[in-house]
Amino acid sequence: MLSYVLRRFFYMIIVLLVVSITAFVIIQLPPGDFLTSYIMKLKASGQIVDEAEIAALRKQYDLDLPIHLQYCQWMWKMLHGNFGKSFEWNRPVKDLILERLPLTVTVSLFTLIFTYLLAIPIGIYSATHQYSVGDYAFTVIGFIGLATPRFLLALILMFVSYRYFGLSIGGLFSPQYQLAPWSGAKFIDLLKHLPIPVVVIGMAGTAGLIRVMRGCLLDELQKQYVITARAKGVSERRLLFKYPVRVAINPIISTIGWTLPRIISGQTIVAIVLGLPTIGPLLFRALVNQDMYLAGSSIMILTFLTVIGTFISDILLVWLDPRIRYEKQAR
């Protein structure tokens, strides 16, 4: 078990390194370097930029170094908590991201819980009541959920609530709590605003997981041990939950590594439409304005979240499923 965790941890570090290289490449991708666009911006606003200042800035951002050294410098600074500066906001990137990180994690976690809490029972119901009205209804809803782009779902919900209830949804807080310090009332306000983003982000993932759960359980229910147990007179309820459900849940738990990227990915676009104060809109604005330090760091943080989440889920899976545990030990 320990050796598996260590190996998995080591693997995660490698992935994180590759992610950081990817983020660095993304920072470098736009033509010219980010300083050029910064200087252009200053010039456009009528400020005078002298050569000495430019040289000083180049030095400050290590742009005078060869590219691989630039990467090392960037990494080194990041390990010391220096993520660079956002040109657009004129603030350290670290502050901007830290401000939004807790809410990003909250929304993702709630969505993950929502997805599993809904998908597993519905999957079980659909499999045990195959071809019933309920099964068909969930299948149809599921297909539509898979087919609707998340931003469109967000738009439609906003449209419906605005048109028919006169409410403007969006954001995570009511205006009076937006800038208020954390308090019990603010937390309750947050909980009131969470359902819509959570449903919108989780819809597609839930629909997918229902299909998987239903399929796995259907396969499992046809197996001989189920028939044997039924012949011996085990009650249907006990029969269902004692073995087949536990076996069928496994693939679901193990796909957490794919569910999490999907949630983070969906959250990015939904947050832009609904105006949530998470990292997604920050990344979007940074990309549009070529604020590359902020963009690179945002992508890196989002990916780190998924990679670390997957790592934790893998460990949990080993802990939950004795078959994997023993297999790893046997090796």
Partner 1 sequence: MKNRQDKITAEEKFYIATQWQLMWRKFKKHKLAIFGAIVLFIFYFVAIFCGFFSTQDIYKRHTKYIHAPPQRIHFFDEEGFHLRPFVYGLKRKINPVTLRRTYSEDRTKKYPIYFFIRGDKYKLWNLFPTDLHLLGVKEPGTIFLFGTDKLGRDLFSRNLHAARISLSIGLVGVALSFILGCALGGISGYFGGTADMVIQRVIEFLMSIPTIPLWMALSAALPPHWPPIKVYFGITIILSIVGWCGLARVVRGKLLELRQEDFVMAAKIIGATDGRIITRHLLPSFLSYLIVNITLAIPGMILGETSLSFLGLGLQPPVVSWGVLLRDAQNVRTVVLHPWLLIPGLFVIVTVLAFNFLGDGLRDAADPYK
Give the interface with partner 1 as residue ranges (CB under 8 A). 15, 18-19, 22, 26, 29-31, 143-144, 146-152, 155-156, 158-159, 162-163, 168, 170, 257-258, 261-262, 264-266, 268-269, 272-273, 280, 283-284, 287-288, 290, 295, 298-299, 302-303, 306-307, 310
Which of 32, 97, 107 shows the shortest CA–CA distance to 283? 97
Q: Between residues 250 and 265, which has the closer beta carbon with respect to partner 1? A: 265
Q: Which is nearer to partner 1, 54 or 317 (CB)?
A: 317
| Least gap, CB of 273 to partner 1 (angstroms) | 8
Q: Give the C-alpha separation, 131 to 113, whole Å.
A: 27
Least distance from partner 1 to the Cβ atom of residue 238, Å: 30
d(CA 149, CA 229): 44
Structure tokens at 216: 């796995």
Q: Looking at beta carbons only, is 144 or 185 nearer to partner 1?
A: 144
Q: Are 23 and 70 in contact (CB under 8 A)?
A: no
Instruction: Give the shortest CB-268-to-partner 1 separation in angstroms.
Output: 5
What interhelical angle do 93-128 and 256-274 show, nearest 10? Answer: 120
Q: Which is nearer to partner 1, 151 or 243 (CB)?
A: 151
Cβ-in-10-Å burial (0-12, 13-18, 19+) of 151 comes to middle
CA angle at 300 for the pair 296 and 97, rounded to the nearest 5°: 80
- Least spacing, CB of residue 106 vs partner 1, in Å: 17
Q: Angle at CA 153, nearest 5°, toward 151 and 156?
A: 110
Residue 5 is inside which H or E element, if any?
helix 2-28
Q: Minimum Å distance from CB 269 to partner 1?
A: 5
Nearest distance in Å: CB 297, partner 1: 12
Closest alpha carbon to 174 in 194, 160, 156? 194
Nearer to partner 1, 44 or 231 (CB): 44
CB of 174: closest distance to partner 1 in angstroms?
Answer: 17
Burial class of residue 38, CB neighbours in 10 A (0-12, 13-18, 19+): buried
Q: Which is nearer to partner 1, 186 or 255 (CB)?
A: 255
244-254 helix and 93-128 helix, angle to the nearest 10 degrees: 150
**Closest CB 168 distance from partner 1, rounded Å:** 7
| Residue whose CB is less far from partner 1, 103 or 146 | 146
Nearer to partner 1, 257 or 277 (CB): 257
Residue 231 CA to residue 65 CA, distance in Å, equals 76
